[in-house]
Amino acid sequence: MDRVFIEGLEVDTVIGAYDWERGIKQCLRLDLSFAWDNRPAAAGDDLTLALDYASVSARIQAFAEQSQFQLVETFAERLAEVLMSEFQIPWLHLKLTKPGAVAAARGVGVEIERGCR
């Protein structure tokens, strides 16, 4: 299985369960890996057959701008649903980190894997 990945994508969004968090945007860091058959795109050097990570990244940014969730778990689940549906991605692994959420930690968050490899 081939994989396409995006590492360290930072997005700003309203996220958090506390009242003070509901009025500000916070940074989330995303690492994603997608199952994708790269052979058709490589055979003809054809971007239209590739998983366009620039388009995927732009969609993630737009999703984050429109989102207002309390839980990082909800953000991750909804984002996975959107990406798999809109880009016909059969499988993905998503690591979502919320930097600074716990003072003594570099970051906290969730990792999810959805779909079939």
Which tens digits make up the pLDDT trace of 35-88? 999 999 999 999 999 999 999 999 999 999 999 999 999 999 999 999 999 999
Indicate the domain borders of the chain. 3-115
Coil, strand or helix: which one is 105? Answer: coil
CB 7 within 8 A of CB 31: yes
Dist CA 73 CA 59 (whole Å): 19
pLDDT one-digit tens code per residue, 89-111:
999 999 999 998 888 999 999 99
> Which of 30, 64, 98, 109 is an active site residue?
98
pLDDT for res 86? 98
25 is catalytic: no
CATH of domain 3-115: 3.30.1130.10
